[in-house]
Amino acid sequence: MSDMAQTEKQKMLSQQWFNPRDPELGSARARAKKLCRELNDCTPEAFKASQKIASQLFGKVQGCYIEPDFYCDYGFNIELGPRFYANHHCVMLDAAPIRIGADVMLGPAVQLYTVTHPLDAALRQSGIEQAKPIIIGNRVWIGGGAIVLPGVEIGDDAVIAAGSIVTKNVAAATMVRGNPARPVRSLHNLPPLPTQLD
């Protein structure tokens, strides 16, 4: 299919430059914003209702607990594994897929950005964007205020320290910290937890 024949949504999904002002994409974002509002309005007691809204919002979800307020661009590009948890004020800009494994925890104000803009100012003024996927493995913990940038993959059992800006892939069972985030320790062979608290 030639570039001329593709819709802006098709360009977005194939990681080409696309125009987010396209009416089809605008409608998709409006739908996601409506569902985000409904999800954010759910009380903790309305767990079943929140799961129904989440199943409408996300491309794939297998049980989640998301504290308000949560925001995303499209929703259909987000896949959440079992027992996903996000603390307050998380943002996922999902013009490209965001795939998250099982037992992942996000601290407050974690932000996942798949979208980037042209460095050239004239092109940037045109409004075009490009998006690259974010892939997060199983049992990952991302600390509060961390930002994950486009195209990053985070391996199983990794830990992202609070406030980090993740610009590169993170190996499995590794803790990273800082801006830009760098490995600070391996999480292999950690000492066992005490069997009881003193």
Q: What burial letters (b/e) apply to 42-52, b meaning 16+ CB within 10 Å?
A: beeeeeeebbe
What is the C-alpha separation between 167 and 96, in angstroms, rounded?
16
What is the C-alpha separation between 39 and 57, in angstroms, rounded?
9
Parallel/antiparallel/unpaired status of strands 159-160 and 141-142 = parallel
- Catalytic pick among 88, 89, 117, 188: 117
Here the tokens at position 162 are 């609070």
E-strand ranges in 39-138 read 60-61, 64-66, 71-72, 78-80, 84-86, 91-93, 98-100, 105-106, 111-113, 115-116, 130-131, 134-136
In which element (H, E) is residue 151 found? none
Annotation says 88 is catalytic: no
| Residue positions annotated with a catalytic role | 117
